[in-house]
Amino acid sequence: MSKIREVTSVESAPGAVESVARKPMLRRDERGLVSAEWVLGIVAAAALAGVLLAIVTSGPVEESLVKVVLDIIGRLTGLLK
């Protein structure tokens, strides 16, 4: 159950308190929301990593990546000679 706190006064000057004429401000206890947000973020990141892994390890994409990496290595070894 949420704990609700009503705010009815505001400190305007040191030591002075005045009554607030507006609607009372309500606050809920939000402990645990940060943990839930982290869990959702981690699950989403894991799902995205799985999709990317499936794409990268597919035949045509894997061949293209290997070709690019080998081309870069070939150019670097050519610069070292």
**Residues 6 or more apart whose Cβ sits within 8 Å of residue 10:** 17, 18, 20
Name the stretches of the chain with pLDDT < 70.
1-33, 80-81
- Per the listing, tokens 């002075």 go with 16
pLDDT tens digit string along 20-41? 555 566 666 666 667 888 899 9
Asked if 41 and 52 count as a contact pair (C-beta separation under 8 A), the reply is no
pLDDT the model gives residue 69: 93
pLDDT the model gives residue 73: 92
